[in-house]
A = this chain, B = another copy of it.
Amino acid sequence: MAADSRPQGPGRGGDVLSAPERAHRVVIVGGGFGGLHAARGLRGADVEITLIDRRNFHLFQPLSYQVATGALSPGEVAYPLRAVFKRNRNVRVLLAEIAGFDLRRREVVLRSVGDLPTPEPVPYDTLIVAAGSHYSYFGHDEWRAHAAEVKSLESALTVRSRILAAFEAAELERDPHRRAEWLTFAVVGAGPTGVEMAGQIAELARDSLRGDFRTADPGSGRILLIEAGDRVLTGFPPSLSAKAERSLRRLGVTPVLASTVVDVDGTGVTLQDADDATRRIPARTVVWAAGVTASGLAGQLAELTGAEKDRAGRVTVEADLTLPGHPEVFALGDMVRVRGRDGTAITFPGVAPVAIQQGRYVAKAARARLRGGAAPPFRYHDKGNLATIGRAAAVADIKGIKLSGFLAWTTWLLVHLFYLVGFQNRLLVLIRWSISFATRGRGARLITRSADADAGRPAAHLND
């Protein structure tokens, strides 16, 4: 590919150097909410889209915590990216990891996933980067091994296996102290994900597993929700935080507020309170839901363009979500901050609606450019804030209207079903939820281990 055959600007048709027959090439990095909606917004346009992800599916991340507690199966919250764009011949999906960006040559350099072939660099006219974020563990990567998170599908399955195995361990444990440790669950971070996880573990212990065990009593389990702030759901108005806290306590969750985690190992967490006093809480299962840091690709883009980078690794993009000096490169979602009118960088909440709206906006902006126009700055339409706590309990803050209880829960349910990708998934999730609601059961309570771990075992085991 000769570099000089490429257009010098993101426009099309007007470019003297571009071959007149070649469509404008859009490369989208990431098949999460941002990338998916950017691609959807562009699929009818006269562009060639390449969507790159290292997984072959879009994960409906707001429900991955339900996989972690056995309420839903992986296939119900994840949908193959190829299936989404099956009928859009101008969308190509590539399974690869990003090695880096060559902004001068306008190429994305790729790395292979597993033993798949390494793809060639992919040239672009417009680049859209939506690579998301991951949990930061406050800089202590060594905690990750002991405190799984529920962000990726794989880690949600790890959390599921650990939670269920803890109850099994309690059933087998003869020492009452050690049994209590197995029945103690610490969720770190009382944002929506932490609150949802704690609520679900409580329901699992008190409802779904009731009667399942003969020695251990799952209902005697302690579920701690550890939060550095002085209330749960700090993103919500204090009155809703109070309501959420009451709902959590009713479910059997103990919020541990104004406490920072200073150590995590395989058998417990160490907390530091406001007086700098530390205390250790024995807990065999720790779930991490605190503090995210942007994808490393945000840092790469910041370095390449001289854009600002904040402490959480987010790169600051212009008001139209492009990188400074690179109108052909968009970045969006929870890996960016957005330059506001007054020049300050705005941090939007790291939730799906922001990524969805930004993805749609970028598609529109790219379309406008293709017609030679420009898009007005991105504006976030905050439709409200939702968090579910458990069976028929939730809080919602919708444009200042505060809802709680059953009404908020119904809203949560409908919104999540509406946004779930794929008709089949919606139907299956609706059925699972209906059955769970009626029976208080959860069908997907499987402890799965990697097949590799099994492969090396001797033949004398059960169900080989």
Q: Which of A230-238, A293-301, A376-384, A391-399 forms part of the interface with chain B?
A: A293-301
CB neighbours of A114 from chain B (8 A): 165, 449
19 cross-chain CB contacts under 8 A = A56-B445, A73-B444, A74-B75, A75-B444, A75-B446, A79-B443, A80-B212, A80-B443, A94-B171, A114-B449, A116-B165, A116-B169, A117-B172, A117-B174, A117-B178, A131-B461, A424-B441, A427-B431, A450-B450
Number of interface residues of A (CB under 8 A): 106
Establish whether residues A448 and B154, one from each chain, have CB atoms under 8 Å apart when the complex forms: yes
CB neighbours of A293 from chain B (8 A): 459
Q: How far is the CA of A172 from the CA of B209 in the complex (A)?
A: 46
A15 interface residue (CB < 8 Å to B): no
A83 interface residue (CB < 8 Å to B): yes
Query: Given A95-B168, A172-B95, A461-B98, A455 and B296 touching (CB < 8 A)?
Result: no
Establish whether residues A168 and B56, one from each chain, have CB atoms under 8 Å apart when the complex forms: yes
A55 interface residue (CB < 8 Å to B): yes
Q: How far is the CA of A157 from the CA of B174 in the complex (A)?
A: 35
- Quick one: CB contact mask for A225-246 with B, threshold 8 Å, 1 for yes? 0000000000000000000000
- Quick one: CB contact mask for A202-215 with B, threshold 8 Å, 1 for yes? 00000001011111
- Quick one: CB contact mask for A407-422 with B, threshold 8 Å, 1 for yes? 0000000000000001
A222 interface residue (CB < 8 Å to B): no
Apart from A98-B462, A113-B165, A157-B448, what 8 extra A-B contacts exist at CB < 8 Å? A53-B463, A57-B447, A73-B75, A79-B443, A131-B462, A151-B464, A154-B451, A450-B450
How far does the Cβ of A78 sit from chain B's closest Cβ, in whole Å?
5
How far does the Cβ of A17 sit from chain B's closest Cβ, in whole Å?
26
